[in-house]
């Protein structure tokens, strides 16, 4: 399929979607799925569809949706007067279709499906229960949603100039990595990003090297804020995590033993030494990391903390990005190298020695910040303004 034909088909689908919106003034599950062919048109599609939703939210500003007040979680099968407000709120954004609204105080199956759809489009566990996190998202006023849409239209407009034929896109508020090649999404996975107090920066660069069995050279700020208090609490902490101390970071540095350091003084007056975690399964970087030039010392990497990927919100790192399936990305970057295979990787990992490898396919990496977009099924997706860059309040659950 030619790029011209793909672009034509995307524009045709966009026209159908816009006609649909003009008739119903809402989103619906029946919107046809569109693929991700042309990178520039993907950004344009998001921009144009977001632009067309503006009147919906501008109208909601003039006629605000219902606020839902409930001290307890609203669950399927229960009766509660707050269910009536929930129905009105979900109808305002067409999560609940008018023909499926029974108007009862009973939390019925139609309402359950509407709640699940709302949860899905807000990055929540779609369990159909209106708990604290779902209630928070439901009660965000339309003014804030309208502002999100406008801010993200600008972001998509700028992103159109950065996307190419092949790229790794990491959307921080979505906690997700996507790999696009020849206009097709070939890989997607969950990611862990920086905490609000240690945010992951937006970066455009190129992945050029991967490292098997990486060392973790602990940044000074992490050593001071995180590790020293744990050593004071547990003197065996460094030994348990296979972290060594050196007088400096250079190759010929001299190793220093924990017993030689006054840790309380280091906590109060600063830590003049260098901490390095040795390679292995306990290593904070896991078994592989991906390097790309940037001024923030940010990289992508594996992690031993796999349980974090099961969280809805995954802002747990100190800035670098942890990947759910890091070796899937490594396989893609190296698949044109005949020497790269499972046996070779296993041998290197089993030896426990650090190995630096130039990637066979240097690939553009774009770390971006998008809190609103349109997914492949035409659903408008919203995410929390994790770092306060939209001007939208952060949730407190």
Strand-strand pairing, 274-277 and 243-246? antiparallel
Q: What is the DSSP string of 257-278?
A: -GGGS-HHHHHHH---SEEEEP
CA angle 303, 307, 309 (to 5 degrees): 80
Burial of 276 (0-12, 13-18, 19+ CB in 10 A): middle
Residue 217 DSSP class: E
Beta-bridged to residue 374, according to DSSP, are 380
Rg value, the chain, Cα = 24
Burial of 367 (0-12, 13-18, 19+ CB in 10 A): buried
Cα 155 to chain center, whole Å? Answer: 16
Interstrand relation of 255-256 and 243-246 (parallel, antiparallel or unpaired): antiparallel
Point out the residues that are catalytic: 301, 320
């Amino acid at each position: 399929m030619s790029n011209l034909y793909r672009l034509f088909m995307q524009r045709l689908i966009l026209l159908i979607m816009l006609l649909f919106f003009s008739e119903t003034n809402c989103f619906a599950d029946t919107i046809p799925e569109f693929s991700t062919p042309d990178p520039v048109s993907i950004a344009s599609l998001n921009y144009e569809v977001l632009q067309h939703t503006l009147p919906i939210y501008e109208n909601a500003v003039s006629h605000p949706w219902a606020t839902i007040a409930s001290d307890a979680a609203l669950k399927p099968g229960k009766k509660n007067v707050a269910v009536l407000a929930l129905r009105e709120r979900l109808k305002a954004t067409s999560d609940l279709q008018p023909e499926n609204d029974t108007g009862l105080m009973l939390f019925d199956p139609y309402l359950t499906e509407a709640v699940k759809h709302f949860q899905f489009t807000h990055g929540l566990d779609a369990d159909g229960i209106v708990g604290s996190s779902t209630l928070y998202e439901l009660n965000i006023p339309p003014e804030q949603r309208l502002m999100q849409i406008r801010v993200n239209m600008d972001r998509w407009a700028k992103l159109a100039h950065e996307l190419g034929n092949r790229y790794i896109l990491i959307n921080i508020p979505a906690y997700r990595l996507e790999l696009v090649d020849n206009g097709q999404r070939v890989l997607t996975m969950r990611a862990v990003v920086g905490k609000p107090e240690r945010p992951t920066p937006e970066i455009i660069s190129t992945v050029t090297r991967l490292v098997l069995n990486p060392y973790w050279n602990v940044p000074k700020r992490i050593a001071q804020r995180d590790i020293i208090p744990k050593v004071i609490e547990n003197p065996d902490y460094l030994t348990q995590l296979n972290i060594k101390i050196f007088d400096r970071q250079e190759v010929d540095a001299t190793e220093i033993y924990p017993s030689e350091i006054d840790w309380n003084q280091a906590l109060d007056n600063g830590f003049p030494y260098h901490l390095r975690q040795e390679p292995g399964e306990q290593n904070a970087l896991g078994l592989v990391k991906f390097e790309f030039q940037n001024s923030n010392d940010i990289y992508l990497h594996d992690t031993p903390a796999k349980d974090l990927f099961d969280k809805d919100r995954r802002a747990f790192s100190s800035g670098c990005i942890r990947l759910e399936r890091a070796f899937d990305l490594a396989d893609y970057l190296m698949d044109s190298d005949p020497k790269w295979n499972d046996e070779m990787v296993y041998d290197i990992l089993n030896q426990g020695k650090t190995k630096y490898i130039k990637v066979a396919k240097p690939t553009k990496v774009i770390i971006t910040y998008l809190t609103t977009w349109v997914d492949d099924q035409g659903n408008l997706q919203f995410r929390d303004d994790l770092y306060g860059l939209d001007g939208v309040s952060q949730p407190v659950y």
